[in-house]
Chain A
């Protein structure tokens, strides 16, 4: 089975079969989008909630532009928005810092991803978000099954 690794601020798609993997999601979020009928899956690794960059060179860095751009690319490959579902993981708070906005990025990412999925009319099937653990997310395009690997926690299938 082919294995595709998705880096930070990146997105990859696979059709029919293949394993999409993104490693060590901290406050970042991995978003699996899937059209079960044609077995087209995409995995996005976003880092921040809202794109306010001028020029917008890396849409996949942000929840809003990342989700929008990925749906567009999936539709171009024959996916239907009505059939599309989502599974998300990440949004942790890695460090407990007193004072300062440092720890809130994860939470803001979670809220932005949920909001943008809703706005685009995508059903959110399952999520493993928040807390304080890093997560590695695997997404099997053949079955639409996700798997979350963390340090010191049993594997989670969703």
Chain B
């Protein structure tokens, strides 16, 4: 049965989404690992369905500054995919690509930003490619957009986009572990409700 809201998802459907998160994040981690020449592991990805304010608390408070790479999906699936890169992650990438670190986000200039965009873009594309071949669906991606700002406002982008449909936001994704240390890089997939139904049907878990 097609769902009308995220909270109607059955436990089988949630497990399926978790599996997608696991495969997608795993592929993204492999891509990251090749880029930075370091071993990267993933933590158990989560599927979370949260109210707006809950989601912002979950990511670490509204005013915290973060770098965000955003890609919009269209085709058989509509949605937004975000890579929220906190300073620890930023420095992990910069250290292993440009051989330098920054003290804060003001230290990011053109070169550093374009590395971060590229890393975000490659991780997102790898995630989406895995999803697309797994479910046999066509997904088109926009060119990545980038900003450094308060993470509350960045998280609000997918919320506002689908806010007319739902009071909740669904995110699928997880953190990385690199060099034995947890690195907070949140890869977040937020599909709209219609696309979620398409996805679950294609994967054969929505009984119709």
Q: How many A residues touch the partner, as a band? A: 20 to 34
Q: Which residues of B contact A8 (CB under 8 A)?
A: 52-53, 56, 156, 159
Q: Check A78 for interface membership: any CB of B closer than 8 A.
A: no
Inter-subunit contact B160/A95 (CB<8 Å): no
Inter-subunit contact B164/A48 (CB<8 Å): yes
The dominant DSSP class at the B interface is mixed
B152 (CB) vs chain A CBs: closest residue: A24
Q: Which residues of A contact B147 (CB under 8 A)?
A: 94-95, 132
Min CB distance B72 to A, Å, is 6
CB<8 Å pairs between A and B, sample of 27: A7-B52, A8-B53, A8-B156, A9-B52, A23-B62, A23-B63, A23-B150, A24-B62, A24-B156, A27-B157, A27-B160, A28-B153, A47-B52, A47-B156, A53-B164, A57-B167, A94-B156, A95-B68, A95-B146, A97-B72, A102-B80, A105-B160, A134-B149, A134-B152, A134-B153, A151-B105, A152-B106
Contacts A8-B52, A94-B153 known; list 4 others, CB within 8 Å.
A24-B150, A24-B156, A94-B149, A152-B106
Question: Which residues, 115 to 164 on B, are CB-close (under 8 Å) to A?
Answer: 142-143, 145-154, 156-157, 159-161, 163-164
Q: How far is the CA of A24 from the CA of B150 in the complex (A)?
A: 6
Q: How far is the CA of A92 from the CA of B152 in the complex (A)?
A: 13
Q: How far is the CA of A102 from the CA of B162 in the complex (A)?
A: 10
Q: Which residues of B contact A61 (CB under 8 A)?
A: 163, 167
Q: Check A125 for interface membership: any CB of B closer than 8 A.
A: no
Q: How far is the CA of A109 from the CA of B167 in the complex (A)?
A: 18
Min CB distance A91 to B, Å, is 11
Q: Check A154 for interface membership: any CB of B closer than 8 A.
A: no
B65 (CB) vs chain A CBs: closest residue: A151
Q: How far is the CA of A30 from the CA of B176 in the complex (A)?
A: 35
A94-B157 contact given A24-B62, A24-B152, A151-B65, CB 8 Å threshold: yes
Q: Which of A58, A96, A99, A152 is in CB contact (< 8 Å) with B167?
A: A58
Min CB distance A21 to B, Å, is 10
Total CB contacts across the A-B interface at under 8 A: 101
Q: Check B74 for interface membership: any CB of A closer than 8 A.
A: yes
Q: Check B70 for interface membership: any CB of A closer than 8 A.
A: yes
Inter-subunit contact B152/A26 (CB<8 Å): yes
Min CB distance A69 to B, Å, is 16
Q: Which residues of A contact B164 (CB under 8 A)?
A: 48, 52-53
Question: Which residues, 1 to 50 on A, are CB-close (under 8 Å) to B?
Answer: 7-10, 23-28, 47-48
Q: How far is the CA of A34 from the CA of B99 in the complex (A)?
A: 53
